[in-house]
Amino acid sequence: MLELMFKHGLMDAKLKVLGDLDVDDHHTVEDVGLVLGQAIAKALGKMEGIRRYGSARAPMDEAMA
């Protein structure tokens, strides 16, 4: 999912993640998401001039996403 976010967001990224993967990788993935969200929010600052892009729906497998 991160690879797709960076590709479609036209962003380059190189991540190095250390965590307790032997115990549970879910928490490490969750922490990566939190840190990336904080970094993007900080980079955008006050978000002046940024407008919403809209919304879309598409069928994926047996669900509408």
What pLDDT sits at residue 18? Answer: 85
Q: Is there a domain that residue 59 lies in?
A: no
Q: Is there a domain that residue 53 lies in?
A: no
Per-residue pLDDT tens over the stretch 27-57: 888 888 899 989 989 988 988 888 877 788 8
- Position 23 pLDDT exceeds 80: no
pTM of the predicted model as reported, rounded to 2 decimal places: 0.60
How many angstroms separate the CA atoms of 46 and 36, rounded? 17
**Range of the structural domain that residue 17 is part of:** 13-43
Q: Is there a domain that residue 25 lies in?
A: yes
Q: Is there a domain that residue 39 lies in?
A: yes
Q: Is there a domain that residue 61 lies in?
A: no
Q: Is there a domain that residue 19 lies in?
A: yes
Q: Label residues 9-44 b or e (16+ Cβ within 10 Å = b).
A: eeeeeeeeeeeeeeeeeeeeeeeeeeebeeeeeeee
Considering only the C-alpha atoms of the chain, give the largest distance between any 2 of them, rounded to a whole number of Å: 44
Looking at the structure of the chain, the number of domains it has is 1
Average pLDDT over the chain, rounded to an integer:
85
Q: Is there a domain that residue 38 lies in?
A: yes
